[in-house]
Each structure stands twice: as C-alpha cells, then as structure tokens.
Amino acid sequence: MSIYRFVTHFQEQNDPRSGALLQDAHALGFTDLTRIECQDLYFIEGQLNNDQLQQLALELLCDPVTQEISWDEFPAPVLQPEPGVVMVEVALRHGVTDPVADEIVRAARQLGISGVRSASTGRRYLIDTDEETGQTLATRLLANMVVHRWAVGEVEPSFPVMAEASEQTETIKIRGLGDQELLEVSKERRAALDLREMQAIQHYCDREARDLTDVEFEAIAQTWSEHCVHKTFKGRITFEDGRVVDSIYQTYIRAVTEKIEAPWVLSAFVDNAGIIDLDGENEVSFKVETHNHPSAIEPFGGANTGVGGVIRDVLGVSHKPVANTDVLCFGLQETRLSDLPSGVLHPRLVMSGVVAGVQDYGNKIGIPTVNGAILFDPGYAANPLVFCGTVGISPIGLHQRTPKKGDRVIVLGGGTGRDGLRGATFSSMTMDAQTGEVSGSSVQIGNPIVEKGLVDVIIPARDQGLYTAITDCGAGGLSSAVGEMASGIGADVDLTDVRLKYPGLAPWEIWLSEAQERMVLAVPRQDLPKLQELCDTYGVHLTDIGAFTGSGRLVVRCGEKVVLDLANEFLHEGIPQRELKAAEVKVRHDEAGNLSTKYRGTASEAAGFLLKLLAHPNIASKERVIRMYDHEVQGGTAVKPLTGAENDGPSDAAVIHPLGARGRAGVAIAAGINPEYGKLDAYRMALSVVDEAVRNAVAVGADPERIAILDNFCWGDPLRPEILGSVVEAARGCHDAALMFGTPLISGKDSFNNEYLGVDGLRHAIPPTLLISSIGILDDVDKSVTMDLKEAGNPLYLVGEFQPVFGGAHFNRISDWQVNEPAPSLAASTPYLYRSLHQAIKKGLVRSCHDLSEGGLAVAAAEICIAGRLGLDIDMNTDDPLRWLFGETNGCLLVEVDKARLAAFEALFSGLSIERIAIVTEAPELKVSLGTGYVFNLPVDQLLRVWKTPLQP
Amino acid sequence: MKPTALVLFAYGANRDNDIAAALELAGAAPGIVPLNHLRTQKRRFSDYQMLVLPGGFSYADALGAGRLHAIDLTSYFLDEITAFVETGKPVIGVCNGFQALVASGILPGNSRWGRQQVDAALTFNSEGHFECRWSYLRPVSRNCIWTRGLEELVYCPVAHGEGNFQVRSSGLLDELVERDQVALTYVHADGSPSRGRYPANPNGSVMDIAGVTNPQGNVLGMMPHPENHIYPYQHPLRTRGVVSGSGLPLFVNGVAYAQQL
C-alpha cells in the first residue's frame, strides 16, 4: 500500500482564502506580513498506476482552468521552501469528520479507480516570514489545536485508524462510598453531578443491589445534566430573606403561557420546538438554541453544529425547516492578544470562525438565514454566545409523538464516532485554560449535506405516516434520544447494530456519542420497507437498533451482554430537585432624581455623538456578515434582512411566506437582546427585550395579537447566589412583559456556566444576557412594511410613550459623560399603541416604520435616511436635546405616514401618545433643529460612510 | 399539453422547489427527480422535454463547486445528456447546475465536450467569500432560446461563493462573443455595463458574464437565480413601488420553445 500526496494551487492569482487570512493576521498584530499563500493537500492511500494518478489529479483534485497540481509518493524528499519563506502544513486530527476525504474515496470509485483505500486532506501555507512568526501564526491563526495537527515543514499524513472492536465495560463502584468519594467519582468522569444527585444514584444502586456499568453511569450523568433537564430552572431557590421561588420554569415561564391561554398555541415546552397556528391549515414551529461552549473552543465547528442541531429540533417536530436566525455575541474585535486570558481564542478569530460556521451549514442545507444580530462586549471575549434559531412549517397535526410497543428503534443519518463525547455535561461546567485540550472530543464538525438528506426523507415519511415518534440526536446522543422516546414505554437496543464511523468505540462511547446528523424514529415493522426505499432514494443510511418494549425499562446490549438496564422511572424522575441559594441583586443605578437633569451640549457636539454612535460596532452596518448568508433560498423572503433603496438598510425583522402557506400568509421573525441593560437591572432588561422582540415584529406588519416568543437565558454559574438572583429577576421581567403583551412563551433554553476561570484565578463571567426571539403572523405578506423612508413630503411620527433615559444607553459607551441612570422602563399603554399601529399598517397608511433601539431616536432617524437615501427635517420639541436624541426608551417607533392620509392615521391613536416630529425631504440630509440656535445638518452620504466602515474587513 | 421538465435532484441540491415553482408558473409540468431514480431507470431522461439542473451544494462543494456532480453527469448519464443537448431540447443550469455544466465541459461546449475538455471554470468570487445580493442582468444573446427577445433587465439574487466565470484562453472569449454565446451580463441598475466593478459584478467574472449558452443556444447556464424572482412580493424594492425585473419571462421563453419542438 502506497501513500501519495497531491498539492493543488492557483495559477496566477493567489487562492482567495489568502486575502482573508492576511486580514486576520494583520488584525492580530502581524502587520508586516505581506503574503500567506494557501494550497490544498490531498493524501491518498492505495495502489495506483501513473495513468490513474494523473486521472485523479486532473479530473478530481484540481480545476484545470484556474489551478495547477503536482503529486509525489511517500517517502518523498522534504520540500525546502525558498529562503525567507516558511511553510506550515495543517491537517485534521484523528476522528475529526473530514467529508471531503470521504468524497474523494467515493468519487475515485465512480471514475473507475478502485485502488483508492482511504484519503485525508490538509492545507499548506507559504508565508513570507521567519520561522518563529510562522510558528506563532500556526498556533494563533492557521490551526486550532482542538481539531488540527500542524507542523512547520511537512505534516505527516494520517488515515482512519483500524482499531479492534471493543465490548469492554467498566464497573463503577457506587455502593458504600462516602460523600467525598461520591463527589470524586462525579469529578473523575466529568459528570457535573452534585452530592444529592450522587446520593440518589447510590440509593438506586442499593435498591437494585448492584453497582453501575460505565454505560449506566454516563447515561445517568447525561440525562441529569443541566443541559438536558434544566435543573437550575426547575430547582427550588431560597433567597437570603427566606423568600422561595419553587422553580423559575413553573413560576414565571410556563405560568405566563398558561395564563395567556392563546388558542393558537399548538405546542409549548413539550416538544423539541414551540408550535403555533399559521393559517388554519398549516402550523409553524420555532426553536432557538445556544452553542456557546463548543463555539468558544472551535468556532467553526461549534457554530456549524449549533445550526445543524437546531434544524434537527425542528425536524424533531416533523416540520420542514424554512428559515434560520443567528444572534452572536463576541469580545471586542480590537482586543490585544496580550490582554486575553490564556487558552482563549482571539475574538476576531472566534467571530470569523462562527460566521463561517453559520454560513457553511445554513447555505449548504438550503435554509435562508433571515434575521439576527451581532453584539460586542469585553465580557464575551472568553465566552462568545452563539444563538441559532430555526423556523419550520407543516400541515397541522401530522406530528406523531407516541411510540407503540413493538415499533422498531431506527437511526437515520450519519455514522457514530467519538465526536462530542460528554458534550451535555461539558456545557454544564465552567471552562478553564485546559478545557480546550481536555474537551477536544467535545467538538463536532457538521456535514450539512447529510442533514439535508434527513430533511428529504423525513418530510415524505411524515406525509406517508411511516413513524409513530421522532426525535433528534443532540446533546447526549442516542442515550438522550432513545431514552426520552422510551421514557413512557421502555426499549431494548443492541449497540452492535449501531453504524460506526470507525471501530474501537467502547459501549458507553457509542451510547453517548454526539455525532451529528442523526435522528431516531419509532417505526412500525410493516412500514420499514417504505422508509428504507425513501432512504435509498436520497442516499440516507438507515439502521435498526432495537425495539420499543412496554417493559418500562431501558435495556442496552452489546451483543449478548447487557450493558445498561435502568428503570425509566429512576432515570427520568429520580433526579432530586436542586436546592439553590439566591441573593437579592441591587439594581445598579442611583435612583435619586437625576432623570430631571438636562443634557444640552451644543449642536455640533450632538452631531459628533451621532457619528460616533453610528460607528459603534453594535450599531454599525452588519452587511458584510449578512451577505455571507443566503437569505433568498426557498423563495419566501418578503422582508429581507437588508432593505431600502440600495438594499443596505437594517430591517427590524424578516418576513417570510413559506412554501405551502395558504394565500399570502406569512411570519415575521425578530429578536430582542440588550446586555447593557442587563448589567444594570436584569428585570428591566427582560421587560425591554420582550418589548423589543414584539416591537420589531409589529414594525414589519405582524399582528400583535398573534406573536409568540422564545426565551434564551445565558448567565454565569448559577451556584453563585448573585448570579441566580439576577436570573430570577430576568425571569420575572420576562413573565410580566409577556403577560402585558399577551405573547405566550412557547419554547426556551438556558445556558449557564458561561464563565471562564482564567490562569489569573479570577472568574470572567458574561454580562447577564437574555435573548427573546419572536414569531408573529401576517395574513398577507404583501402588506408588510420596511424601514426605509419612501417619499419626500411625508410626515414622520414618533409613536409611543417616549421616556428616554441614559441607563445602559450606548451614549455612555461613546461619550465621556457616563450618565448614571436606570435602564428604561416599559409604559403600560405600549400594547395598545402596537395594536393601533397594526391597524394603520393593515389599512396601508404606513409607508415606513422603524423602531428606536440602541443609540436612541437619532440613530433610528439616521438609519431610515440611509436606507431610503432621503433626508429628514426634524424639529425637536424638548429642552433636553441630548436626552431626546440619544436617550434610550422602550415602546417607540418612527413611522412615516402617507401625507394624504394623516387624519385617518391620527384617528387610530386617539388617547395614545404620538407626535409629528419631522418631514421627509428630497435633499439627502439629516437636519435636526431646536429653534434656530441649535441646528445640525449631516449629509446622508456621510452617515452612510461612517455607519458602514467599522465592520468592513 | 404542458412540456415536461426534469428537475434533476442531486445529493445536496436545494433550490429544486424554487425552480420547479418558476417552471410551473411559466407553463411547464416540472418533476423533481432524485438522481438515484435516473440511475435505477425508474425515470428516464427521454420522458422529458426540458432538463433543469437546480441550485444547491451538490456533494457539499467538496473539491470545488459542481465538480463531483459533473462526474455524475459524465459517468452515469453521458449518452442521455448528449442526446438531450444534441436534439436541441431546452436545458438550464442555475448556480450549482451551471457549475456542473461547466465542470463537465457541456458549457460553453465549443469543443466536443466531455470531462477531458474543460474550457471554462467558475472559480472563487474575487471578494473571496460567499455572497448573497440582488443583481441586475442584461439578457444579451439572441441565439439563446432562453434569453432571446427579453428586453427588460432581469433583477434577481446571486447566492454563491464560486461564481467567477473564467476561460482557458482569450481566443475562447472572442469565440463566445462571435457566436453570441454570452447570454447574460451583470450591469448597473441603469443598464450600463458593470465593467468588472464590484458589487454590480458580484464575483469578478470576465466580461461581466453572468450566464453563457452553448453554440446551438439551447443550453443556458447562469449563476444568478431568476427562479427567486417570480412573484412581486420577492422584489426587494416592492415597498418602494418597483415591480420590474421579474425572472419569469426567461422561463416562459424556455417553456414556449419546448412547446413548439
């Protein structure tokens, strides 16, 4: 068996990847660098003659018009780069998914070349620099130790290792252990179980009069992980003063949905995704997940599989995915390498990796990415947040939820490998400098095309009624998926039937593997042939690993040997409720009457503040990122993420008309997030972000009485009382605001332990971050509204109770004024205003509509000018101009009204707060005046340039 | 009778429904056919009057967009596709479909095509990354049955990372012009040539080429997605009262041609 190496490079121009690498290198401080040339390496193991080598090279491994290729056979003389050039080669570590390698083997056979046994891939970089810099670049930019191997010079090729099959199980001694020993067992196996949980396991062992196998212990640790059972949200929380919150989930989250009792909510919190009625015939689902920990250590793979995972959640309610969302929080892009905690990737690489990961999965699987946000804060440097959402559609009532006795346990999709072991428990821990290395196997790399195959098979299988239950293999792998499905009935499966990527996996590894792109279905035996036929058509693997039994026990075998045998009742109900302590959180602002302080400044200062705000990365255009996502595939996108005369204005929300929806029915998809408010007051942050998510959806035309919301809580370690106190406040705010708007919560997810224990011994926790995502119904997408100014002469109204404050305002981040005020509150009239606004939109009175958010009224005004390439003449009615321009408020929007229909518009708002503040002008200038002595005038061109610059590469 | 259109569904195709909707609206009877059904002869090329290669990411773009799908075309279906092209039936490949047509040598098709003779490439965008944006296209070719007679600019999205059209030799470029094979070009909103300027030319294609046809004019390959602009609600400037630039007439042309064959 020989090993061949092929090297492909571009003929004239450099590989386009080189430019992006060079930019990243410059941003990391390697400003002198002028060249990083990128070449592709393909290693092939097999027996090939010269003709076959040439055929492989020219027909498969290079594009003959733009590229050149060379090849040699190992051992080959070591290549010496020219003087002044350092060669770095990077290849994947063992066990990391390499879809290209698999395709090479397949396609070679298709070309009639049967001598190819296996393949692997890599990259070669030629850098004009010295060896030391080359090494630094390799570790900081070109390779990620979690998934890559690298070398200065040539990297050794490696191929999948053929190890012996393993049926070994270990016995974990539990009985007779003392408290300390129990905790050590938990720690040793990275199980993240506390003493009471370990004691519960011990009692079970005593009852069953035996210890546990490693498969059983790992399965319990996974089933009882924070990630899977949300023990913090379900825990009993005691405050210092004795006040008790018995389950955040029951008290605030689920409670609000039950109080609202909306008839159009078809499923809340019980399925993998929340479901609402779309048009009487179809239903839509929405789920938002986080993938923070994996994205911190391997940004591309983490974000990639975050998208893949949430898509499977929607497949898990038998819906066809029709739209994706992504909200991303990163550290400051200009962070100096020396300021980063050790073991932490630079925020710029985290961002480029995460964006590439989202792009790769969403674009390839063919789901439009239509809404999102990107935020920057130093607090996210070590713990980026990656929120991935998916919306799905199905005819009402096709989803099946109950496996029957005798149904087969069927796994569809990818093979099982060592990827992502203990991901569920890993995400439930605080990370430290070693996490990246130790948890290397917690990272998964996705394969969107395999998941596309799942969509292609599952939707027709649903229509033909071929399964009685379905769920996705996510965190916890088969253990979680089969365990949950069998929780009411029991199952008996054999691990030797699981299709493996490579042999040598221990039974617990097979059971817990978080290998991607797998779904588990309960299939009646007589329907299996039809499902098999669908799978054959779309090239999807189907494996039958056992049966649902009706025994009430979960039994897992490895051939003859039983490796797991647990009572469902214990596994799913046996976890003791967590007892947690919370501290009352002091709201961090000075209540004493400074809201009446006036902030006048000069007009030119005001203009300067506006330009600085527009250039703040949180407010600046995200066009460069948005355009990397396909937002048009499936043809349903009616309000696009970028809108206006030149398609570059920032939409408040997306509107899609999914294929299959009746008439012109559609959904608006939006989000609200504001960690700045969270730093001051978690309760008001929650009020604000619920309002923002609703407001954004209403702004594009969603019916405010048919909006549902989703919560995603991202906080630090909930065992710290002050952290938990802040979570409780946010949950209470979420409840109060949702009740006020009548917007039921239909799905949610919490991610704790977003903390990093640096080598300095200090904890780095993220700012309290609550993401509220919203999904609202429109009867007619043709009536949807965009945010760009439309026509000179139209009046502009400020709609809503305008109560601008500087607490948490972005003004404080760009000025030296540092005004100490509370975060904005939420006026009780807001829901009524939104209903009136919706009536105005339905009657066609509204030409454009944009909400006030970060940066306040002035930023919103600048954005609508930019988007419409028109001007505004604003007349401020205030004696407190800076507050009026840059203070932040909830519940407000700027609404351009058809000049011929003012009376009809105003009539809809009787008794509510609206004010005409400006007129749209043909001259592209934003003119703001307060009498004649206080005037500034900024050309839209300048606004545009300032706003677009920061996120350009 | 509506002309039947075979929408070839490769492993990883994803704009199959989009283009089927456009064909249906244009008067055809499209059928989305999984590649495996053609391999097992459950369906045959000869049952159809039009052949459509939709957008997507066949084989995840491994080894270059369209390359592995091109090997499908030439290793499994060489005779069928040759017959389809040579009898003059309408063929269209959009985005990934175009990439496969080029990587297999079917387009531009000036030499006898086959995978040994690949004369053009759709390589990485000059900006170096995937990009989704709406582009204005000028239908140029009078020879191409899909674009002939179209007077209005077509306005539709591009969504690709490898759409930069390049050719092996400048001689071929001259030939494409001489034989009226440049089907569509990227232009500014006012119709003036983009002359390689980003973003009007979104990917750096030589001579602003957005689509090419074969010498016979029955096979069209293009990177942009006219199938994603067939309803008024899809127009990005809809709320500003703009309605022009539908991609539908291009499909109507192809269907009408198939009808009279």
Burial string for B106-117 (b: 16+ CB within 10 Å, else e) reads: bbbbbeebebee
- Tell me which residue of B96, B224, B111, B112 sits closest to B158, measured CA to CA: B224
Q: What's the pLDDT score for residue A594?
A: 61
Which phi-psi region, left, alpha or beta, contains residue A445 (left: φ > 0; alpha: ψ -120 to 50)?
A: beta
C-alpha A248/C-alpha A246 separation (Å) is 7
Most trustworthy range by pLDDT among A60-64, A859-863, B167-171: A859-863
- The CA distance from B57 to the nearest CA of chain A, in Å, is 5
Among A447, A638, A781, beta carbon nearest to B60:
A447
Fill in the amino acid letter for B213: T
Contact flag B71-A788 (C-beta cutoff 8 Å): no
Q: What's the pLDDT score for residue A434?
A: 44
Q: What's the pLDDT score for residue A438?
A: 40
pLDDT at A925 over 50: yes
The share of chain A scoring above pLDDT 70, in percent, equals: 95
> Structure tokens of A919?
């007129």
Contacts of A321 in chain B (CB under 8 A): none
Cα–Cα–Cα angle for A616, B158, B89, rounded to 5 degrees: 175
Residues of A marked as catalytic: 227, 291
- The CA distance from A178 to the nearest CA of chain B, in Å, is 53
Give contacts of B 165-224 with A, CB under 8 A: 166-168
CB distance A384 to A756 below 8 Å: no
pLDDT at B260 over 60: yes
B199: cis peptide before it, omega within 30°? Answer: yes
Q: pLDDT (tens digit, 9 = 90+) per residue, A761-770? A: 778 789 999 9
- Tell me which residue of A82, A81, A60, A83 sits closest to A71, measured CA to CA: A60
pLDDT at A428 over 60: no
Among B18, B63, B240, beta carbon nearest to A634:
B18
> Structure tokens of B119?
């004369």
Contacts of A363 in chain B (CB under 8 A): 57, 130, 159
Contact flag B132-A627 (C-beta cutoff 8 Å): yes
The share of chain A scoring above pLDDT 90, in percent, equals: 77
C-alpha B185/C-alpha B200 separation (Å) is 10
Q: Does B119 touch chain A (CB under 8 A)?
A: yes
Give contacts of A 61-80 with B, CB under 8 A: 61, 63-66
What is the overall mean pLDDT for chain A?
92
Q: What's the pLDDT score for residue A71?
A: 95
CB distance A686 to A737 below 8 Å: yes
Say yes or no: ipTM exceeds 0.90: yes
Q: Does A49 touch chain B (CB under 8 A)?
A: no
pLDDT at A439 over 50: no
Among A362-376, A469-483, A757-771, B216-230, where is mean pLDDT lowest? A757-771
Q: Does A871 touch chain B (CB under 8 A)?
A: no
Q: What's the pLDDT score for residue A61?
A: 95
Residue entry with tokens 């007619």: A780
Q: Does A364 touch chain B (CB under 8 A)?
A: yes
Contact flag B21-A632 (C-beta cutoff 8 Å): no
Contacts of A15 in chain B (CB under 8 A): 124
First CA to last CA distance, chain A: 46
Contact flag A630-B126 (C-beta cutoff 8 Å): no
Contacts of B231 in chain A (CB under 8 A): 635
Give contacts of A 647-666 with B, CB under 8 A: 647, 657, 659, 664
Q: What's the pLDDT score for residue A427?
A: 55
Q: What's the pLDDT score for residue A596?
A: 74
pLDDT at A432 over 60: no
Measured in whole angstroms, the distance separating CA A884 from the mean position of its chain's CA atoms is 35
Fill in the amino acid letter for A260: I
C-alpha A145/C-alpha B225 separation (Å) is 40
Residue entry with tokens 């009539």: A907
Q: pLDDT (tens digit, 9 = 90+) per residue, A566-624? A: 998 899 999 999 999 999 987 765 554 467 788 888 999 999 999 999 999 999 999 99
The residue-averaged pLDDT of A230-258 equals 95
> Structure tokens of B57?
């990411």
Q: pLDDT (tens digit, 9 = 90+) per residue, A783-792? A: 999 999 999 9
Q: What's the pLDDT score for residue A433?
A: 44
Contact flag A638-B233 (C-beta cutoff 8 Å): yes
Q: pLDDT (tens digit, 9 = 90+) per residue, A393-417? A: 999 999 999 999 999 999 999 888 8
| Strand bridging mode A320-330 / A369-376 | parallel
Chain A CA closest to residue B226: A635
- The CA distance from A656 to the nearest CA of chain B, in Å, is 10
Sheet with A469-472, edge to edge strand ranges? A469-472, A518-523, A408-413, A542-548, A491-494, A553-558, A561-567
Domains and CATH numbers, chain B: 4-260 (3.40.50.880)
Please, which pLDDT band fits residue A424 given cuts at 50, 70 and 90? Answer: low
Q: What is the DSSP letter of A588?
A: -
Domains and CATH numbers, chain A: 2-152 (3.30.1280.10), 164-246+401-575 (3.90.650.10), 591-620+785-953 (3.90.650.10)
Measured in whole angstroms, the distance separating CA A910 from the mean position of its chain's CA atoms is 41
In total, the C-beta contacts within 8 angstroms joining chain A to chain B are 155
The residue-averaged pLDDT of B211-240 equals 97
> Structure tokens of A124?
């070669």
Contacts of A659 in chain B (CB under 8 A): 17, 21
From residue A22, alpha-carbon distances to A19, A30, A37, A151, A347 in Å are 5, 9, 9, 19, 16
Chain B CA closest to residue A107: B68
Contacts of B64 in chain A (CB under 8 A): 63
Contact flag A59-B62 (C-beta cutoff 8 Å): no
Q: What's the pLDDT score for residue A440?
A: 43
Q: Does A448 touch chain B (CB under 8 A)?
A: yes
pLDDT at A32 over 70: yes
Contact flag B36-A782 (C-beta cutoff 8 Å): no
Measured in whole angstroms, the distance separating CA A599 from the mean position of its chain's CA atoms is 39
Q: pLDDT (tens digit, 9 = 90+) per residue, A294-304? A: 899 889 999 99
pLDDT at A953 over 60: no
Q: pLDDT (tens digit, 9 = 90+) per residue, B133-184? A: 999 999 999 999 999 999 999 999 999 999 999 999 889 999 999 999 999 9
pLDDT at A436 over 50: no
The residue-averaged pLDDT of A79-102 equals 87
C-alpha A292/C-alpha A276 separation (Å) is 27
Measured in whole angstroms, the distance separating CA B77 from the mean position of its chain's CA atoms is 19
Contact flag A630-B103 (C-beta cutoff 8 Å): no
Q: What's the pLDDT score for residue A731?
A: 98
From residue A397, alpha-carbon distances to A258, A261, A283, A744, B11 in Å are 21, 19, 8, 20, 30
- The CA distance from A52 to the nearest CA of chain B, in Å, is 14
Contact flag B233-A627 (C-beta cutoff 8 Å): no
Q: pLDDT (tens digit, 9 = 90+) per residue, A198-234? A: 999 999 999 999 999 999 999 999 999 888 889 999 9
